[in-house]
Amino acid sequence: MFVFKFEKIKNIKENIINIEIIKLSEINNQIKQKTLRISELKDQIKIFYKRFDDQIKTQVDFSILKYLSEEILACELEIQSTQKTIEELEAKKKAQIEIIKNLHKEIKKFEKLKEHYKERYIYDEKLKSQNFINDISTIFYNRNS
C-alpha cells in the first residue's frame, strides 16, 4: 500500500514537472519573440537613420525630419521596454529551472523512500514468516515433550 502512495505522489510530481517544462518552453518562446522584435526595431532604426541622412543631404523638410526623429525615439523606447521585459522573462526562466530542479530532487527522494519502505516491508514479512515458523516449532516441540 505504501508503495502505491509513493508512486502516486511521484506521478503527481512528474506531472507537475511536465507542466513546469511547458511553462519554461513558453517563456523561451516569449524571449525569442522579444529578441526578434528588438532586431526588427534595430533594422527600422537603421532605415530611419538612412532616410534622415538622405533627407538632410537632399532637401531639409523639418516636418519629415521631426517625424523621422520621433519614429527613431519611439523605436528606441520600445527596444528599452522590450529589453526590460526580456530581463524579467530571464528571471522567470531561472525561477522555472529552479522549480524543475527541486521537483527532480523531490522525486529522487520519493524513489529512495519507496525503495527503503519496500525493503523494510520485505524484511518485516520475512520476520513474520520466521516468527510463524518459530511458533509452529515451539508448539510442535511442546507437544512432543
Half-sphere exposure of 105 (CA within 13 A, CB side): 6
What pLDDT does 133 receive?
A: 84
Distance CA 135, CA 122 (A): 20
Residue by residue, pLDDT tens for the chain (145 residues) are: 556 777 788 889 899 999 999 999 999 999 999 999 999 999 999 999 998 888 888 877 788 888 889 999 999 999 999 999 999 999 999 999 999 999 999 888 888 877 877 788 888 888 888 888 888 888 877 777 6
Q: Give the pLDDT score at 15.
A: 92
Please tell me the predicted confidence (pLDDT) of residue 24.
95
Instruction: Provide the 10 A C-beta neighbour count for residue 94.
Output: 11
Domain annotation for the chain: domains and CATH numbers: 2-144 (1.10.287.1490)
Residue type, 136: I
Core vs surface per residue 136-145: b (16+ CB within 10 A) or e: eeeeeeeeee
Q: What is the pLDDT of residue 94?
A: 96
Instruction: Give the DSSP letter of residue 99.
Output: H
Q: Are 24 and 79 in contact (CB under 8 A)?
A: no
pLDDT confidence of residue 56: 83
Contact status, residue 21 vs residue 100, Cβ threshold 8 Å: yes
Residue 26's Cα: distance from chain center in Å?
Answer: 10
Residues 6+ apart with CB under 8 A from 62: none
